[in-house]
Structure 1
Amino acid sequence: MCAPGVVRSAHENAARPSRRGLLGALGAAAVATTVASAAPRARAAAPQRVIDLTHTIAPGMPVWPGNPPPTLLPVALHAAGGFAQHALAMWEHTGTHLDAPVHRVPGGLSTEAIAAPDLLAPLVVIDISAKAVVDPDATLTRADIDDWQTRYGAIPPRAFVAMYSGWERRFADAAAFVNLDGDDVPHAPGIDPEAARYLVSDCDVVGVGVDTLSLDAATSPDYDAHTAILGAGRYGVEMLADLGAAPASGATVVVGAPKHAGGTGGPCRVLALV
């Protein structure tokens, strides 16, 4: 223990700062003021709306003809251990899902190799629903792209371009969504191969999306739009939801892509920030 005089002296010295201590305090305050003034004065504005462009995965949902529907099997119950858990069984290209380049091109990028910055992009929505309602084999053409650019300006570099055909309105009826004819051939809108090549070569898009089951029109025999987009190292997103609620221009898309090694694609959560 310290003697009472020593304790009293220490308190008095602490209450009476030295010149060195005073200068140090002033210096620290100046540094703090400088750092504060150099810091950003405002954060980036938060989006006013978030639109979920993702269909819910559930048994009975539309799938490409021949693909099995997704299944969810309870494997753990609250009553038998305190936690619930499902085993999921589905093919990679189920629901709102990403097509990685390797899905079409041998040696192409797989899901985990897609660059993260490319999953956040300006969103461009091109509406072809007026012609799709009368022609289920309608395609997004170069003329549709030119019309969009005349109205809204050039497609921004590194954008994500989505075709809105209105097909999402059929989602609740799997048969109507797949739309098989009498010969079991599906009919649904897609992207014209010339338009696909233009988007990757001239517009430098990061990816292309559709609200149908395929980037190509469902009747396509050779899937040239897939080849043009995925072959250029870009990704596709199929079976987008609620594109009708997204603006034609000005939004940002976030593609929550899967990241499993060697994946050809996989279900993803896609959001539009408006």
Structure 2
Amino acid sequence: MSMIESEVQTLVTQLKRKTWVDLTHSFGPESPHFPEFQPAKFKTIATHADGYYVKQYTFPGQYGTHIDPPVHFYKDEERYVEDLQLKDLVLPLVVIDCSEKTEANPDYSLTVEDIKNWEKKNGSIPEGAFVALRTDWGRRWPSQVKFENKDTKGQNHYPGWSLEALKYIYEVRHATANGHETFDTDAAVNQQNGLIGEYYVLSHGHYQVELLDNLDRVPSTGAVVFISVAKPENAPGFPVRVFAVFDESKNKENTKAIK
């Protein structure tokens, strides 16, 4: 065995001793989805009686926990899912907890002040990080009604990022990507002029992951996020399997691990 192979194998062994947490929702035809999309369809097309078990899946690319590459919103940035660099899918994970404010106000948008207050406690967001916004909205899964949180006039109410907060993590802290637990980057009540925050992220060459889960089970810092995704041709989005790996000793928020 070569020295390089030995080092890689040692790294894998060390990683397997860490705490692993799945940040991905299981999804199916009844799962929450962006209101403009049709529900997914799962159809069995062969059973064990045929000699093998196969299902056919029909769903939009932006379904379940999914990734949005730049081309999803920005036609001049022709970077599809398959164009994302593998090394950019393994990043230091930062989790900014805004759950108390969003519980009190479901229309809340993360502010620069919120981030700076987080940094006073946890240190500066590292360059190249994946910055996740924790709102605990993922606990509303698997209810479409609870995710949309409509009022009597049909207006959705769920939290998001402010444009200023996104500019801060990308232009000041030089993050690589961001993620959240809701359908959209922008809070629902702030979408009268379109998804301005999401357009900013994707038009500046970044990607994002939506409908994350279990952000309450990982530490604010010290974890690494892994984003695993298939490689369909010219895909402007696709479901992903996202998970975090970290030292339990660094998890100061009394999280529970998935072993």
What is the TM-score when the length of structure 2 is the normalising length?
Answer: 0.87
Offset, 1:64: 1.2
Q: Which 10-residue stretch deviates more, 132-141 or 216-225?
A: 216-225
Q: Which amino acid aligns with 2:198?
A: H
CA contact (8 A) 1:197 1:225 kept: no
Distance 1:52 1:42, change over 3 A: closer
Identity %: 33
CA distance in 2, matches of 1:152, 1:103: 32
Other-structure match for 2:55: 86
Deviation at 1:91, TM superposition (A): 0.5
Please state if 1:268 is matched with 2:220.
no
Which residue of the partner structure matches residue 194 of structure 1? 164
Do structure 1's residue 106 and structure 2's residue 75 form an aligned pair? yes
Matches within 5 A, 1:215-226: 215-219=185-189, 220-221=191-192, 222-226=194-198
Paired amino acid for 1:77: T
Partner of 1:43: 10
1:228 to 196, 200, 207: 200
Rounded Cα–Cα distance in structure 2 between residues aligned with 1:63 and 1:147: 32
What 5-or-longer segments of structure 1 have no aligned partner? 1-31
The Cα of 1:110 is off from its aligned counterpart by 1.1
Between Structure 1 and Structure 2, whose CA radius of gyration is higher? 1
Structure 2 Cα separation of the partners of residues 88 and 235 of structure 1: 25
CA–CA distance in 1 between the matches of 2:155 and 2:233? 33
| SS in structure 2 at match of 1:122 | strand
What's the CA shift for 1:65? 1.2
- Return the structure number with greater relative CO, CA threshold 8 A, min gap 6: 2
Contact conserved, 1:119 with 1:257, CA < 8 A, in 2? no
Name the structure 1 match of 2:215: 243
Aligned-partner Cα distance in 2 for 1:115–1:40: 23
Residue 131 (structure 1) aligned with residue 101 (structure 2): yes
Report the counterpart of residue 207 of structure 1 in structure 2.
177
Q: Determine the C-alpha separation between the residues in 1 that align with 2:105 and 2:212.
A: 20
Residues 43 and 211 (structure 1), Cα distance of their counterparts in 2 relative to 1, 3 Å cut: same
Contact 2:169 2:175 in 1 (8 A): yes
C-alpha contact (below 8 Å) 2:125/2:169 kept by paired residues: no
57-66 or 177-186, which deviates more:
177-186
Partners of 2:181 and 2:103 in 1: how far apart? 14
Cα displacement (A) at 1:41: 11
Is the contact made by 2:81 and 2:231 (CA closer than 8 Å) also made in structure 1? yes
AA at the equivalent of 1:43: T
| Aligned position for 1:172 | 142
Give the deviation of 1:42 after TM superposition: 8.9
One-letter identity of the residue aligned with 1:70: A
The one-letter amino acid of 2:199's match is T
